[in-house]
Amino acid sequence: MRKFIFSVLLILIGINSALCQTEPSSFLFMLSGAGSRAAAMGEAFTAVSGDAGAPYFNPASAALMQYTELSLMHVSYLTDATMEHFSALTKSGNARLGLALYLGQTADFERRGTIPTDEPLGTFDEHNFTASILWAYPINGRISLGLAPKWAYQKLDLESAAAFAADIGTFYTMKPEIAFGIAIRNLGTKPKFVDKAFDLPREFRIGASYRPSPESGFKGLLVAADYLLPHWGNQSGKLNIGSEYIYQDLFSLRAGYGIGYDSWGFAIGGGILYTNYFFDYAYVPSNNDLSDTHRLTLRIRL
């Protein structure tokens, strides 16, 4: 068991090191997380399971799902930008299968020519789209593997580009209370705008979560932390920490914090549970006061 875990860790770290990049990244919309629950917990979700949005951060987390679940998320910014995300997970034998669709749009970019003018020549929109499928499989009672191939597309004014990519991950349940996760996201081809190719925003994630046993007196509590090695932006490591408290399966409170990010730090949110329906909300304020986000998610468990 330990040899297997150590081997998987070495393989993923080796892939991550081999794919280190120095070129600027494109398709940064592929870093937009799925699910208000994860957003409110500061996206410390590599070692967390239990909803249809979790495989976005680690596809292997889907192997622990025991239900079919649908998830619909809407994100609005203070700027003219919106995001919509749909995901579905189901169980087929021992495997878990899933589908995820993402659509984003930013409106009213100013069109400028080569000669400076007081007024823009017009406006245009930016559109982006991602479609992915998921396969996750529990190797045994503790170890799970996951794979999520995807296709991504972006159109900016009259130009467009597309890329194929994949996420891979592993999930290890050391005890019922403690879990670990490792994932590499956005491995794939380079999108090309006109005659210039760009790297995808790849990242290596390693995380841990702790859920106290009901007998401990802290039933409903979950704490998690992720460490990210990004191959995008300034390339510096980042730390995400988050927590969740569920009260008697009626409502939940969540909070998180991201260390090392330029655009955000603190996040907060909660949810309401009613039979098989989950209503989740997250508020993620921006450090530059330009793109505070409100995330609304409806999850339906079938």
pLDDT of 18: 47
% the chain with pLDDT above 90: 56
pLDDT at res. 143: 93
- CA–CA separation, 104 and 36 (whole Å): 16
- From the list 125, 150, 153, 123, the residue with the least C-alpha distance to 29 is 153
Mean local confidence (pLDDT), 68-76 = 92
CATH number at 116 reads 2.40.160.60
* CB proximity list for 15: less than 8 A, separation 6 or greater: 168, 184, 187
Structural domain for 7, as ranges: 2-301
H/E stretch holding 211: none
Average pLDDT over residues 258-272: 90
Question: pLDDT digits over 240-252, tens only?
Answer: 999 999 998 899 9
Q: How far is CA 280 from each of CA 35, 76, 171, 268, 274, rounded to the nearest angstrom?
A: 8, 14, 24, 11, 12
**H/E stretch holding 166:** strand 159-173
Q: Is the pLDDT of residue 80 over 90?
A: no
Q: Which residue has the higher pLDDT, 265 or 36?
A: 36
Q: Where are the alpha helices (DSSP H) in the chain?
A: 2-18, 36-40
Compute CA distances 256 → 37, 173, 224, whole Å. Answer: 10, 22, 9
- pLDDT tens for 192-232 read 887 788 889 999 999 999 999 888 888 899 999 999 998 87
Choose among 283, 279, 277: nearest CA to 302: 277
How would residue 71 be classed by pLDDT, with cut points 50, 70 and 90? Answer: very high
Position 61 scores a pLDDT of 95
Q: pLDDT tens-digit profile of 130-179?
A: 999 999 999 988 999 999 999 999 988 778 899 999 999 999 999 999 99
d(CA 247, CA 206): 28
How many structural domains does the chain have?
1
Give the distance, in angstroms, between the CA of residue 226 and the centroid of all CA atoms in the same chain. Answer: 12
pTM above 0.75, yes or no: yes
CA dihedral (3, 58, 145, 104) in degrees, to 10, reads -150
